[in-house]
Amino acid sequence: MTPAKRLVVVGAGPGGYDAALAGAAAGLAVTLVERGKLGGTCLNWGCIPTKHLLAATLAVDALEAQAKQKLASGEVTVALAAVQAKKKKLLSATQSAMAKRLEQAGIALVTGNLSGVAPGLAKVTVGAETRDIPFDALILALGSRAAAFPGVKPDGKAVLGVAPVLDFAEAPKSLVIVGAGAIGLEISEVYRRLGAKVTLVDAAPRLAPAEDPDVSKVVAQVMRRKGIDARPGVKVESLVTDEAGMARLTLAGGEVIVAEKALVAIGRFAATVVPGLAELGATFADAAPNRAWLVTDDTLQTAPDIYAVGDCNGRTLLAHAASSQGHYAARHAAGLESGPYAPGPIPGCYYGAPEIMRVGAIAAPGDGVSEAAFVANPIAQAHADTAGFARAVWREGKVVGLTAVGHGASTMGTLATVIVAEGWTRERCEALVFPHPGLDETLRAALLAEVKIKE
Amino acid sequence: MTPAKRLVVVGAGPGGYDAALAGAAAGLAVTLVERGKLGGTCLNWGCIPTKHLLAATLAVDALEAQAKQKLASGEVTVALAAVQAKKKKLLSATQSAMAKRLEQAGIALVTGNLSGVAPGLAKVTVGAETRDIPFDALILALGSRAAAFPGVKPDGKAVLGVAPVLDFAEAPKSLVIVGAGAIGLEISEVYRRLGAKVTLVDAAPRLAPAEDPDVSKVVAQVMRRKGIDARPGVKVESLVTDEAGMARLTLAGGEVIVAEKALVAIGRFAATVVPGLAELGATFADAAPNRAWLVTDDTLQTAPDIYAVGDCNGRTLLAHAASSQGHYAARHAAGLESGPYAPGPIPGCYYGAPEIMRVGAIAAPGDGVSEAAFVANPIAQAHADTAGFARAVWREGKVVGLTAVGHGASTMGTLATVIVAEGWTRERCEALVFPHPGLDETLRAALLAEVKIKE
């Protein structure tokens, strides 16, 4: 492959933004196409807004934890409308900073919609006109969109998608959430702290179904203690706005739950409808063309000189995975990377209550497993929040997976990534001096605990 | 050296406790001598009690940060007496667990005072009797004690050492703290949150004088914003309890500050008065025998077959350093270690507000320095707590030091230790995928920022 000179990137979420910057740094002439706001799902309707709401309500949770042990009393009232105004301002400021950085890097930002592709040409609709933007390499960072199914989809009235729920200026008195993945878990905790009666349902047999089953048990225990009505293994018959304007959830079996608002957070679909893409050689992972992930090879190409990075390739629906892929793809296009894309294990975190962190393998039968509970951790004890554990998974004497669930577990994500990426042995774990006291000493205790074979 | 069979360890703080366990694991017959409580300064009057008080008052600080931006309102009242009771209970539980673990490891615990040493014999006073306990190897983990100088020392009335201040059942209305190291900084934040008017003075020209000067600037800025009257570069003339029972601090120059209580936290002295020790070959780092650190060789021996670990050797006055040294010394005595003690860089953290983390070198003229501010970090933004920065120090293309000051900086300590211990290059830093969003992305930004040479 001849190194590209003209790079077109479509989508300015984490994947596309970092692809554009890496392309410019590699000396390419870069055009970045975005139809909406800079920052994609992560900045606008995902990772960042949820963190604002969780942090803004932290005092409520910290007070509750202490009050439950009669160590403190009082009341915290969150001014949600003010929090939303601050959030909006900060997101705008971040977008301005991003735009400035793109400009400084000499990247042409085009506000428009990718309406099709042809050999060497991206067709972009800008207002009333359509421009043909030539490329030597094209990076598609098209993102994903909320999944919906007949009978369970936002109607814009009481049944909502994630974006409006993250923008509530006032907390609903009651909230039904369908979907117990990261989005459902984090938002249930936010609005519980804000006083809503929260009901969380999922068809999967357990909460956080992508994680270790024992993690799900801790999540269930913590949510029950906090007063969230969390029901895994429940099938939804329908979710509609009723005549009184309330969200009406009917479960298989007939039980009806009525709430002021409902959130549908049942997964993500790809957003890959691009006329002409299949003709250039792209293939899709699903027969339904309006929701199918783009299949990519080991250099992240979905067709010759056309890369797909981030959510739209369905590999790992996480912002930092998208960034890493975008960075690689731009450098590959520029001829600065020749080997296959091999980022090592990608950490994943949930930031609600409890927090969850996982990198690499979940324990399977035959794996070695070593673990430690947070109950003896002095920092967890001090925060009156000791549920959970850390667990290491071992294969051939090396760490291949790390999971933690409990207070502050997300803060261990990067350390865990190093350990799993490098496949640390027990000796190497022993040699590392951890600062005392720290939550991650429970990770250390797990790494140094007796290894048992999982049956 | 013939491997030891009988190991005597004196002092059951982190250094002695871990030495005893490592010795037993290595097959030695171990006697552990402790005159007071298990856990030493760290558990009883240091790291752990301060963390309990900081965590128990977290809701106060979180609410204040949000309220300052008009994002929340309310009031949190901490039931300090209940917090102290809980703390006491948890410390006792930890001590019981430690005792049980010692017993399970077959370690003989002797409650007594080391009254002298002779060749191969530790003289231990137990109640009225003195026992001669024979050893092949002796590990001294004698710890340290609060420093005091004429005119500035606890009098047990209004002028106090750290132990009673950590045990207050009621917060004083006003508190003077002499000493702006980790203890003084953390305790000033605890009692500020609990409503005390806090004045902090130190003769050193800046707060946290052992850290990077720019870290001190952030600490000063944050403390000022929080309403702590912090005055570095101030000499104390005297600190006494006056006739009204108040603490009366007189500064050089004549200014007088009166407060309900005062804390003296001006450093640590060794606690190494052991008759017979010098005769066995031990040397001391100071002429004053009642406060001198024990000089140790590169295998932590202060005399043949006599090791000194933890605070008493004056190397690094941190619990995890003591643990690491104790572990090594016991294994060296058992013949399981032959090389010199080389633990790599030891992380140090301050857990007040702001938090501070440092591993390895502070930037000196000629070093490469790269840095990033927390102001753009979305987690710091969400917590309304964006002061501070992360900084990397480079020599010959490798990271030799990492510092961070700001919200949650202590959580980055272990990751930073790995990076400095292994001397990561820029390429290696680039290859690591950090979970997004995270406070440690500011550490990543610092590692990937332009390196400038410090003048």
Q: Do A437 and B48 touch (CB under 8 A)?
A: yes
Half-sphere exposure of A131 (CA within 13 A, CB side): 13
DSSP letters along B381-415, please? HHTT---EEEEEEEETTEEEEEEEEETTGGGGHHH
Specify whether the CB–CB gap between A309 and A144 falls below 8 A: no
Is pLDDT above 70 for B68? Answer: yes
Mean pLDDT, rounded, for B79-101: 98
Q: What is the pLDDT of residues B196-250, one digit of tens each?
A: 999 999 999 999 999 999 999 999 999 999 999 999 999 999 999 999 999 999 9
CATH topology of domain A348-450: Enolase-like; domain 1 (3.30.390)
CATH topology of domain A159-266: FAD/NAD(P)-binding domain (3.50.50)
| pLDDT reported for residue A122 | 98
Is pLDDT above 80 for A1? Answer: no
What is the spatial distance between Cα B300 and Cα B314, in angstroms, rounded to a whole number? 11
Distance from CA of A288 to the nearest CA of B (A): 31
| pLDDT reported for residue B287 | 65
| pLDDT reported for residue A287 | 65
Task: Name residue A188's amino acid.
Answer: S
Report the DSSP beta bridge partners of residue A362: none
Mean pLDDT of chain B: 96
Tell me the ipTM for this assembly: 0.96
Note which residues in 143-172 of chain A have CB less than 8 A from chain B: none
Q: What is the pLDDT of residues B388-440, one digit of tens each?
A: 999 999 999 999 999 999 999 999 999 999 999 999 999 999 999 999 999 99
Q: What is the pLDDT of residues A265-314, one digit of tens each?
A: 999 988 878 999 999 999 888 767 677 899 999 999 999 999 999 999 99
- Tell me whether A195 touches chain B (CB under 8 Å): no
Report the DSSP beta bridge partners of residue A7: A30, A137
| pLDDT reported for residue B1 | 59
- Which three-class secondary structure state does DSSP give residue B234? coil
Query: Quick one: CATH architecture of A6-146+269-333?
Result: 3-Layer(bba) Sandwich (3.50)
- Tell me whether A42 touches chain B (CB under 8 Å): yes
| pLDDT reported for residue A30 | 98
Q: What is the pLDDT of residues A55-89, one digit of tens each?
A: 999 999 999 999 999 999 999 999 999 999 999 99
- Tell me whether B78 touches chain A (CB under 8 Å): yes
pLDDT band at B96 (very low <50, low <70, confident <90, very high): very high
Mean pLDDT, rounded, for B157-171: 97
- Tell me whether B118 touches chain A (CB under 8 Å): no
pTM for the model: 0.96
| pLDDT reported for residue A272 | 78
State what percent of residues in chain B have pLDDT above 70. 99
State what percent of residues in chain A have pLDDT above 70. 99
Q: Do B6-146+269-333 and B159-266 show the same overall fold?
A: yes
Where do the domains of chain A lie?
6-146+269-333, 159-266, 348-450
- Which residue of chain B has the CA closest to A63? B59
Q: What is the pLDDT of residues A384-405, one digit of tens each?
A: 999 999 999 999 999 999 999 9
Q: Do B77 and A73 touch (CB under 8 A)?
A: yes
Of A318, A383, A418, the CB nearest to B55: A383
Q: What is the pLDDT of residues A425-452, one digit of tens each?
A: 999 999 999 999 999 999 999 999 999 9
Q: What is the pLDDT of residues A98-133, one digit of tens each?
A: 999 999 999 999 999 999 999 999 999 999 999 999
State what percent of residues in chain A have pLDDT above 90. 94
Neighbours of B408 (CB within 10 A): 23
Name the one residue in this structure whose structure tokens are 């790494």.
A447
Distance from CA of B435 to the nearest CA of A (A): 6
The residue among B21, B386, B436, B450 with the most chain A CBs within 10 A of its CB, best to mutate, is B436
- Tell me whether A390 touches chain B (CB under 8 Å): no
Q: Is A150 exposed, middle or buried (0-12, 13-18, 19+ CB in 10 A)?
A: exposed
Note which residues in 393-412 of chain A have CB less than 8 A from chain B: 408, 410-411
The residue among A436, A441, A443, A447 with the most chain B CBs within 10 A of its CB, best to mutate, is A436
Q: Do A435 and B320 touch (CB under 8 A)?
A: yes
Is pLDDT above 90 for B115? Answer: yes
Q: What is the pLDDT of residues B314-327, one digit of tens each?
A: 999 999 999 999 99
Is pLDDT above 80 for A253? Answer: yes
B96 backbone φψ class: left, alpha, beta (φ>0; ψ -120 to 50): alpha
Q: Is B365 exposed, middle or buried (0-12, 13-18, 19+ CB in 10 A)?
A: exposed
Helices then strands, counting H and E runs in chain A, come out as 13, 26
Nearest Cα residue to B151 out of B218, B235, B68, B93: B235
Q: What is the pLDDT of residues B268-295, one digit of tens each?
A: 988 878 999 999 999 888 767 677 899 9
CATH homologous superfamily of domain B348-453? FAD/NAD-linked reductase, C-terminal dimerisation domain (3.30.390.30)
